[in-house]
Structure 1
């Protein structure tokens, strides 16, 4: 029998590649219908993951195959924790991704390059056709922020909306 000195090296590299791919896929797999629960919430320009116990208000949002969110403009107060209850009324997968215009556009470009990529962040929720999902977010920064569906071509077809976060009233002096 002839030994192949590179066989263990090739086998090791193949195992490393498979492990890396499995781990990468797992870290981007969506928690369908519900935004991810992060161990340590990360502050974003548009807020931070909220806790269900802190929800002040629930806003129902319909997602449809005519590439619309209803309502498409949300008004909230700075500091409020909001439950966005998402109902997919269509036959296609839809998602809601919160962010700044730049973050939404950057993520949309990344999704165009990697259309099969899935993700799981607390500011994103995938909702299967006919299903309901939710996202709980604390809007602790005043300003105008965006939300969009970044499923293939949905954003480009206009499936987007706006969150207007009004500044909390300044304390009386």
Structure 2
């Protein structure tokens, strides 16, 4: 149901000609309340319950450093993402399947703007953050889904170990 709603919204956005852009538009979390919706890879976390901060760097060579993160089941992380490049980058957490689907949409609709608690868009020279609770064990992915970046290998892995 969620995918149908997303596809419908994307179609409407494409037809409306509205400014849903990844260009020079300002991105980031809006003033709207944070959506705490359970995902396969966890749920939006509470900043007061952060147990660890992990800092990642993004560069224009289409890489994340580090590109692998180890997490304990139930841990709430603050992911601080620095964009050391000269172009907009983002970090989106998800399953490989979800990221593949989202990346395909980004190729079709490169001006699409999106904002979910499991993603952050970061302007050049700036930083963004995600607070996320990893309440599901498994291997998950993160990526920059800006058109062409994912395809160039701007991806990473998150391993959530059961206790």
TM-score, normalised to structure 1, is 0.78
Cα deviation, residue 152, structure 1: 1.6
| Cα distance change, pair 165–157 in 1 and its aligned pair in 2 (3 A) | same
Q: 1:134 aligns with which of 129, 137, 145?
A: 129
Tell me, which stretches of 5 or more residues in structure 1 are unaligned?
A: 1-16, 169-173
CA contact (8 A) 2:71 2:158 kept: yes
* Residue aligning to 1:68: 63
* Residue aligning to 2:92: 97
Q: 2:109 aligns with which of 110, 114, 117?
A: 114
Cα deviation, residue 32, structure 1: 2.6
TM-score, normalised to structure 2, is 0.82
Distance 2:32 2:46 in 1: 9
SS class of match (1:162): strand
| Cα distance change, pair 124–37 in 1 and its aligned pair in 2 (3 A) | farther
**What are the superposed Cα offsets for residues 120-145 of structure 1, whole Å, 9 maximum, x if unpaired?**
10111000000011011000000000
1:39-54 correspondence to structure 2 within 5 Å: 39-54=34-49
CA contact (8 A) 1:56 1:80 kept: yes
CA contact (8 A) 1:35 1:136 kept: no
CA contact (8 A) 1:61 1:84 kept: yes
Tell me, which stretches of 5 or more residues in structure 2 are unaligned?
A: 1-11
* RMSD after superposition: 2.5
CA contact (8 A) 2:20 2:111 kept: no
* Residue aligning to 2:156: 161
Count of residues in correspondence between the two structures: 147
| Cα distance change, pair 48–31 in 1 and its aligned pair in 2 (3 A) | farther
